[in-house]
Structure 1
């Protein structure tokens, strides 16, 4: 034992020194590895985030003003990425800068499909349709719709469907003026866009404009839109349990969706009967300017699971109807609301119309076509500013299909939800400047040329961007121009009710209060 102690004693300092050297070496190696490892950005969360519950309380409290809550936090984090958590649904990352939006919608498009969650959220209205489908299924549906929204169709659209419904709108306005009653522009614009699209796409005329009662399809669509949006802020288990038990929100949703499907089924049947009658009567369609959605569907490739099948058709039409009706109608409502709040902007718009359209007859039969409106730069600026500040599709969701990194240091794990809130993007001061929240059409006009400034879609994100950019964008812009100009050419409008400018949470961004106005003939 003494020999052992004698042997160990003199070597303790050496052992300690060796240990120290090894420790230092390991530390240096660890530091080098940490320096070489990717450093991801820390993603912030709201201060109200709770253990276990995450942001469930926030979402429940803000169910009716979700867009405002997302905007509030986006502004708090000065436009930087942030995230919120819903139990059972995981983390959702919120992105609102052009570089991040470009990565998600374009550069890494294949890494960010719509995903199964969004398909479930929109189940009943738009599941497995152009809005939510991925892969080949999405490709086939989009290809069919692109054919429908061709230049020839748009020309036919303006010359026939819109012109007829503008005439009906003018007739309704004249009757209202005689009766000295206000007009509900919210109802009018939703009637207008639905009637126009159904006639254009399916050859069916609902004749809703000026009707004494709302068409049942309108009522059911509005209720369904609001109920489906409520799913976003609720844990999946909660609304799925309600759906299984057929109680609460989900019971009301099912009832309204059933009514919507019944209405759309009836309209499709009318369209098919009209098409069959046309063929049986021997009507020559060789030189037909455009084909209805029904005809395009019947000609589209039926490739089983990936393509459109007969069972898909009603859902396909339903998704188009929701998109065509609500998005454009809500934009028109916000536009005319903004003009009532900014009479100086309305005056500039009328001055431009008086100058550029001075050669036209000023009688009541004048109809302004898209060709007439090409020179109206300020009108275009007013429309774009409305679309910027009040994007109809106020948020877009995607899901990461794999672990990936965007913008160099933002890590997104597989299965994580990504929210791109157009409503917040348009008010992001780091993107649009300190006056981002102001309605200022002049921001769109180049002072040097007097023309509209080109703005990339990743900044002006209202129509989304990349391969999934809104397929009906040109149609919407044309309808907005023609409807706005024709109404302002004949009338001015004064608010007839209290409207505070609050929005309502739904599949589209609507004005909460009905826009009641008094029309005054010019």
Structure 2
């Protein structure tokens, strides 16, 4: 019975996808005409004004080139670079049924992400087939340019502006303390198991292996949730909300199935679970708004009666009125600048955008350090010199040391080099043209999607020299600290480019640094002997050998 039921589910999903494909084909016919439709579907050519932009092959139904990019990332990257070189720095990639024009030449990248192009000629593309719109609604990540300007200023004031990050730092350190208690216990358990297996009797050094990525993910989820909500959410609510948003990102956004138009509305299977997740997330948000309003009403009654209120909320912003990003956005709603739905849309957006990318940035940085022991040793010595004789725990860290470009320049360079080679976000969100625009001699019509890929451009010797494919943090070092030249001109796009670059990039870097400082002052790390290299689309789930650092 179970196998029959599964087969019926698969048939239903295939029929839904087939229906969506037919509907989209009709839409393409209307847009491109009969001849243009045949060229698009049969030859996979994109011809603005009759000029052909070569596309990445192979293209398979119904995912376009997405599956090939996931299964063969390095080969696909090299093919894309060669195509771009033949086409003046541009290549077309079919993502499901949509051709996206990618720019690899710096001249075109800078044109596409300058302020005028971003604000006046394009809008951010958000496929309606993705579940993102259902959860994030009117968030910073989904709005058109006109409303984005207004909301961007509000969120910066709410706690993500550069002058507010000092107040966020204690919450990040608290998250570091919590996760390192768990990692220490995991290492001790692994050490105990090694002893049980008589490793010592064989005269071998005990280097217990543990899988670090789950701890990287838990740190990112718990810390970002704490920064966003402060004491507006209890630990149990925070963990549950973090798990739900994490599931939504992994299953509802990163799944290539939802790049197919219509697949988002399949009412069964995993698609149904994603919809249930969205409803539960929204229910928790409604409860949080209600709880916070009730608490504020109680505190106001106590103040009117001359009693002390419940005490100040946990401080994660900057300035006397700051509490948490959630509280600050709620205050904006009470002033009439936002609706309560927009408050929740934006906190969900910050969580969805921050969890996976921050966890992967930490995990990939650990991976590169474990594969390059000389680099790891240099970073450890730099950290020990910056922290003095302390044990390296968060209590010895200060905001000025962590976020300075001069106190930990080599650590900064290592993180930037990791993000250059293995960006946590594969590509920049596509921009969709609002009017016909000329780029590189091609007159791209209204509705065309354009973007760039850091993973591809990071391997181009035209941008990074002959050692572009090699891990070389020194390329980011200059006099007195990190060189800014390497991040100028569109070469470094791991956090996006231009005015709509990642609003949480400084918070993400802070989280990566706090985790790495704690790790490297406690342990020497290396890949376990059974390590197998994984591709850039797959999250790193490997075991690391952990050997305690001895302080002299």
1:95 is matched with 103
Q: Secondary structure at the match of 1:492?
A: strand
Moved more, 326-335 or 431-440: 431-440
1:491-506 → structure 2 map (5 Å cutoff): 491-496=523-528, 498-503=530-535, 505=537
Spell out, residue by residue over 1:16-50, the C-alpha distance to the aligned partner (whole angstroms, 9 max, x if none).
Answer: xxxxxxxxxxxxxxxxxxxxxx999641123435x
Deviation per residue, 1:246-275 (Å, 9 max, x gap): 134522322333344344445555555555
Instruction: Give the corresponding residue for 1:452.
Output: 483
Pick from 81, 93, 96 the counterpart of residue 75 of structure 1: 81
- What CA distance in whole angstroms lies between the structure 1 residues aligned with 2:380 and 2:514? 14
Conserved in 1, the CA contact under 8 Å of 2:133 and 2:142? no
Secondary structure of the residue aligned to 1:83 is strand
Does the 8 A contact of 2:228 with 2:324 survive in 1? yes
Q: Whole-Å Cα distance in 2 between the matches of residues 364 and 481 of structure 1?
A: 12
Match of 1:368 in 2: 397
Match of 1:226 among 242, 250, 256: 250
Aligned to 1:145: 155
Aligned to 2:213: 186
Distance in 2 separating the partners of 1:401 and 1:48:
30
The alpha carbon displacement at 1:389 in A equals: 1.5
Alignment length (residue pairs): 462
Change (3 A) 1:423 1:504: closer
Alignment map for 1:26-45 (pairs within 5 Å): 42-45=52-55
Structure-1 separation of matches of 2:395 and 2:230: 25
Structure 2 partner of 1:402: 435
The TM-score with structure 1 as length reference comes to: 0.77
User: Structure 1: where are the runs of 5+ without partners?
Assistant: 1-37, 209-213
Structure number, greater radius of gyration? 1
Aligned-partner Cα distance in 1 for 2:128–2:483: 35
- SS of residue paired to 1:125: helix
Unaligned ranges ≥5, structure 2 = 1-47, 192-208, 304-308, 314-318
- How far apart are residue 81 of structure 1 and its match? 0.7
Cα 1:101–1:142, aligned 2, differ >3 Å: closer, same or farther?
same
What secondary structure is seen at the aligned counterpart in 1 of 2:524?
strand
Q: Which residue of 2 aligns with 1:389?
A: 421
Q: Provide, for residues 424-479 of structure 1, a one-character-per-residue CA deviation record: whole Å limited to 9, x for no partner.
A: 22223322223222221111113x66643432161111111222021122222222
Q: How does 1:159-170 map to 2 (within 5 A)?
A: 160-170=170-180
2:197 aligned partner:
none
What are the residue-to-residue correspondences of 1:318-329 with 2, within 5 Å? Answer: 318-329=348-359
Q: Matched residue of 2:143: which SS?
A: coil
Give the corresponding residue for 1:339.
Answer: 369
What is the CA–CA distance in structure 2 between the aligned matches of 1:431 and 1:118, rounded to whole Å?
A: 34
**Deviation of residue 154 (structure 1)?**
1.2
1:340 Cα offset (Å): 1.0
Q: Pick closer, same or farther for the CA change 1:320–1:45 going to 2, 3 Å.
A: same
Asked if the contact 2:56–2:65 (Cα under 8 Å) also holds between the matched residues in 1, the reply is no
Question: Cα–Cα, structure 1 residues 329 and 63, in superposed 2: closer, same or farther, change >3 Å?
Answer: same
Which of 95, 108, 132 matches 2:142?
132
47, 58, 67: which one aligns with 1:48: 58
- For residue 297 of structure 1, report the CA deviation from its aligned partner: 2.1
1:311 to partner: Cα distance: 2.5
What's the CA shift for 1:94?
1.5
Q: In the alignment, which residue of structure 1 is the partner of 2:6?
A: none
Would you say the 8 A contact 2:187–2:210 is kept in 1?
A: no
1:53-452 matched pairs, under 5 angstroms: 56=62, 58-59=64-65, 61-62=67-68, 64-65=70-71, 71-78=77-84, 80-85=89-94, 89-106=97-114, 107-109=116-118, 110-115=120-125, 117=127, 122-147=132-157, 148-158=159-169, 160-180=170-190, 182-204=209-231, 207=235, 215-229=239-253, 236-240=260-264, 243=265, 245-267=266-288, 269-282=290-303, 283=309, 288=320, 290-300=322-332, 308-357=338-387, 359-362=388-391, 366-373=395-402, 374=404, 375-396=407-428, 397-407=430-440, 409-446=441-478, 451-452=482-483
For residues 483-516 of structure 1, the C-alpha deviation after alignment (integer angstroms, 9 at most, x for no partner) is 22232122223434744342475xxxx6242555
Against the structure 1 CA distance between its residues 46 and 168, is the aligned structure 2 distance closer, same or farther, given a 3 Å change threshold?
closer
Aligned to 1:473: 505
Are 1:115 and 1:134, in contact at CA under 8 Å, matched by a contact in 2? no
Equivalent position SS for 2:100: strand
Question: What whole-Å deviation, never above 9, does each CA across 1:302-350 have from its counterpart, x for those lacking one?
Answer: 899xx63223332221111122322222101110111111111101112
Q: 1:101 to 1:281 in 2, by over 3 A?
A: farther
Could you list the structure 1 runs, at least 4 aligned residues long, displaced by more than 6 angstroms after superposition: 38-41, 284-287, 301-304
